[in-house]
């Protein structure tokens, strides 16, 4: 099982996380049947969430929400320190009308905001930070968030490679974060490496590269060490029948009654993981009565 790999420069001034997330992004695409633009957006957000979560602590999670005024509109991904991840877009089937824009995620997202939520165990409300999107390409937006909200200078490179049929062939990324007090020559070396090497993380992975291979071009000439992070990745959705029932109560008593009047079980599919749930007419009736009683108090 693959996991996010973490590194640090030997002087402890730059920390890095890199990942080959091909398998989990493929699973997302298979479950949600996303078209190319949604696959790119959700896939990059999943990779970004995995990388950010790996720098947290045990039991902590990070959620990434991009909301734009373009046709894709919304992209969401969340990941935990332990390697679980999921992603979603309410518009998985959107296709650009012009072939030239077939993989133009920035245009499909439009202008909007990026919100990052950090969840900690036993904390009722997450810590949220919101910034304007700078490109809608996800990686640039995360780097902008880190600088604006945490004063961290970073390079965020996220990639999803699709074949001519729009199927995921590779997906992964790297985040390089410069800590306060770093020497200028280290920053200059990293910037020179970025200018010198045409780095494509998705192509490196497509050619059989490892997460460490993603890091090497950026840190050429800078000694670094791998850190332990043994948390295998998995696509995981916490949906349950109880969550489905809670969601149905938002329809209200009348909405539930309409479902009961259809005189057939309710079939519900989780849009994030594809898991199917069925509630019998009796279960719908019980849910309606519980809701009715709660509204009387």
Per residue in 12-49, pLDDT (tens digit) is 999 999 999 999 999 999 999 999 999 999 999 999 99
Residue 64, pLDDT above cutoff 90: yes
Each residue's pLDDT tens digit, 233-246: 999 988 888 888 88
What is the number of other CB atoms lying within 10 angstroms of the CB of residue 203? 14
Beta-carbon contacts of 186 under 8 Å, excluding residues fewer than 6 positions away, are 9, 11, 13, 14, 178, 222
Instruction: Give yes or no for a contact between 273 and 237, defined as CB atoms under 8 angstroms apart.
Output: yes
> What is the pTM assigned to this prediction?
0.87
Report the CATH superfamily, name and number, of domain 241-296: HSP33 redox switch-like (3.90.1280.10)
- Dihedral-angle region of residue 160 (phi above 0 means left; psi in -120 to 50 means alpha; beta otherwise): beta
Determine the pLDDT at residue 100: 66
Bridge-based pairing of strands 14-20 and 61-68 is: unpaired
| Of the candidates 54, 12, 6, the residue with the CA atom closest to the CA atom of residue 222 | 12
List, by residue range, all CATH 3.55.30.10 domains of the chain. 5-235
Percent of the chain residues topping a pLDDT of 70: 99
Label residue 12 exposed, middle or buried (CB < 10 Å: 0-12, 13-18, 19+): exposed
CATH of region 5-235: 3.55.30.10
Q: What angle do CA 126, 122, 129 make, to 5 degrees?
A: 10
Q: Decide: 94 and 35 in contact? Cβ < 8 Å.
A: yes
């Amino acid at each position: 099982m693959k996991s996010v790999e973490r590194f640090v420069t030997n002087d402890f001034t730059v920390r890095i996380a890199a990942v080959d997330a091909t398998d989990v992004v493929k699973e997302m695409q298979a479950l949600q049947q996303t078209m190319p633009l949604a696959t790119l957006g959700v896939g990059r957000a999943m990779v970004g969430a995995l990388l950010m979560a790996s720098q947290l602590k045990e039991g902590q999670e990070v959620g990434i929400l991009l909301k734009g005024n373009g046709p894709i509109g919304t992209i969401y991904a969340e990941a935990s320190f332990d390697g679980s991840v999921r992603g979603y877009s309410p518009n998985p089937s959107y296709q650009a009308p012009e072939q030239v824009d077939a993989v133009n995620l920035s245009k499909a997202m439009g202008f909007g905001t990026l919100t990052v939520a950090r969840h900690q165990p036993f904390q009722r409300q997450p810590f949220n930070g919101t910034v304007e999107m700078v490109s809608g390409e996800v990686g640039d937006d995360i780097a902008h968030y880190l600088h604006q909200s945490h004063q961290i200078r970073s390079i965020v490179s996220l990639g999803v490679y699709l074949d001519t049929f729009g199927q995921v062939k590779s997906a992964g990324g790297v985040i390089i974060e410069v800590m306060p007090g770093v020497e200028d020559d280290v920053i200059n070396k990293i910037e020179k490496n970025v200018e010198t090497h045409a780095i494509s993380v998705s192509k490196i992975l497509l050619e059989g590269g490892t997460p460490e291979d993603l890091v090497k071009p950026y840190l050429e000439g800078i000694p670094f060490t791998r850190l332990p992070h043994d948390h295998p990745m998995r696509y995981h959705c916490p949906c349950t029948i109880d969550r489905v029932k809670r969601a149905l109560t938002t329809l209200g008593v009348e909405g539930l009654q309409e479902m009961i009047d259809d005189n057939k079980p309710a079939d519900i599919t989780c849009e994030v993981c594809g898991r199917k749930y069925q509630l019998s007419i009796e279960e719908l009736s019980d849910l309606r009565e519980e809701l009715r009683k709660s509204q009387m108090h």
